[in-house]
Structure 1
């Protein structure tokens, strides 16, 4: 039986943990503060079109003894990654596979630097999901996709064994070229979160006013150019695909970053838009629209810290 530590027991982490528990994995949740208290009091509760779940997996906080683990799944917000990097080591062996489900790509650099030689997977989560006020995980639409694949420092035998174990968990789909999947998700979320927060509006309002869809075109074109310059592989005719997705989105579609901003919460802007601008400067790309988006997000974060 695979022993798994899920670091970050919010919506994504809680959902992954539930589906792994259903498949027979031995899962421990790592949480803190209010979330840890909720889980200890009420258990892990999932309400989903794919099937509800209620269970009481073990919950630990940083520093509490547990393990050893075959896999560590990181499902924190991006701004929680540094804390995880500082405290993860006692829960890892040299063969513990790390699978992050974070947005963007900066975390892959940080993980490789913090744990050189550690088996590292790439992962992409696509799901509309949130925590309600009582700490229950609410899966909002039937669609869900959790891909994974070998990223670095995996020998063939170890990866083959892991694939067999993950194949028994219906949630996961292996991607042979996980990096392409990760870059494409990063490009999409960089633009969607960036424009919805810049304009403080849902997709339909942005798409149907002023420059309309051309604003999305400019933002995607700048983003894709940066990723290509940084050596990221993108699928064929990606820009057309991105614009088709935006064209077909419901008018009220928005982003979790805009919801965080509206609620006065921290955003993942440094990890997403900040890293994209860092890559642009590193590789000599001109990105005027992305620069304006990051400026807006920086203003919000400074105001939030001061208030």
Structure 2
């Protein structure tokens, strides 16, 4: 099995190291000091489950890797439309693209029976740009429940969780999913093949749609948001509205709002990835989290006044931030990527699962 990890930051390098440990032919696509460190000493994983070092190939040139069986996308979803130069040299006729993203994916209605089959979601696939770059038939969905961060170039700190749920858009338990799952499990990770991955997408989105933008707007941690009466009520309203949209689309995630809130409270003093991006002057990944749900609410006729209000103010924050990006701090390994370049193969430097 030949695998390329495009965006080998915290999550991507962790997955690549695990697959390499399992015997897969792994190639990490990255850049800058992180790439130099991985070329020099490999990927060092620091984990409560046991530290290890893997030495997969690492490069900034996908053409030097050539076609692979699987492309694991560790990029932010807002860079998918411009990822063609990184992804296309890696493709052959049967290459699968495993998109490890938060929020609503561009392939959401691909293979989904019902009145919206084939519907394109403009907010996550503007003008079909993502579909042209990453055809949905190549896509394998992936919901990440692992928490990792780059402790230093070439060094991944694994904080918690090892589950990477995957699934076909049409719900099939396909050989390509089973083969990839087996390789992940052999590398020490959990990788269940879900017949309906959309339920997992909505479960994780319940936290992302509420805590991520509110944290950016307030600069508060997840624990602070969950522990404040006003914001806890705001999160509850956003989650209720989101669950109604999911239900109209045929998904009923098996988790309660109180459980999601209690999970966030237990996380405590943690900054969401959106707040971290804001502090680093990076583009905010809000379209797949907020704008997509607003669009789906309009499609299904669900009133989502709270989600719309937060989407409006968070959207303005994203616009003003994009006009005045902060300079990357060369002393901080998590700022090694170029915030002005959405196709930077190291752009997903930090990842943490929602509670």
TM-score (normalizing by structure 2): 0.75
Structure 1 segment 138-149 matched on structure 2, within 5 A = 138-140=157-159, 142-149=160-167
**Structure 1 unaligned regions, length at least 5:** none
Q: Which has the higher contact order (CA 8 A, sep 6+)?
A: 2
- Please name the residue that 2:204 is paired with: 185
- Please name the residue that 1:53 is paired with: 52
- Please name the residue that 1:262 is paired with: 279
| Separation (CA, whole Å) in 2 of partners of 1:304 and 1:236 | 36
Tell me which of 217, 231, 238 is aligned to 1:198.
217
The RMSD of aligned alpha carbons is 2.7
Counterparts in 2 of 1:193 and 1:161: CA distance versus 1, 3 Å:
closer
| Separation (CA, whole Å) in 1 of partners of 2:203 and 2:220 | 23
Question: Any conservation in 2 of the 1:121–1:152 contact (CA below 8 Å)?
Answer: no
Counterparts in 2 of 1:286 and 1:168: CA distance versus 1, 3 Å:
same
**Structure 2 unaligned regions, length at least 5:** 109-124, 325-355
1:207 aligns with 2:226: yes
TM-score (normalizing by structure 1): 0.86
CA shift, 1:14, in A, is: 0.6
| Separation (CA, whole Å) in 1 of partners of 2:290 and 2:136 | 28
CA shift, 1:157, in A, is: 5.0
Larger deviation: 11-20 or 208-217? 208-217
- Please name the residue that 1:10 is paired with: 9
The DSSP-based 3-state class of the residue aligned with 1:182 is helix
CA shift, 1:115, in A, is: 4.5
CA shift, 1:268, in A, is: 0.7
CA shift, 1:102, in A, is: 1.0
The DSSP-based 3-state class of the residue aligned with 2:162 is strand
Tell me which of 282, 297, 306 is aligned to 2:314.
297
Larger deviation: 158-167 or 43-52? 158-167
1:235 aligns with 2:253: yes
The DSSP-based 3-state class of the residue aligned with 1:88 is helix
1:37 aligns with 2:56: no
Query: Which deviations, in whole Å up to 9, do the C-alpha atoms of 1:150-182 show, x marking residues without a partner?
Result: 334978555555555455343132133222112
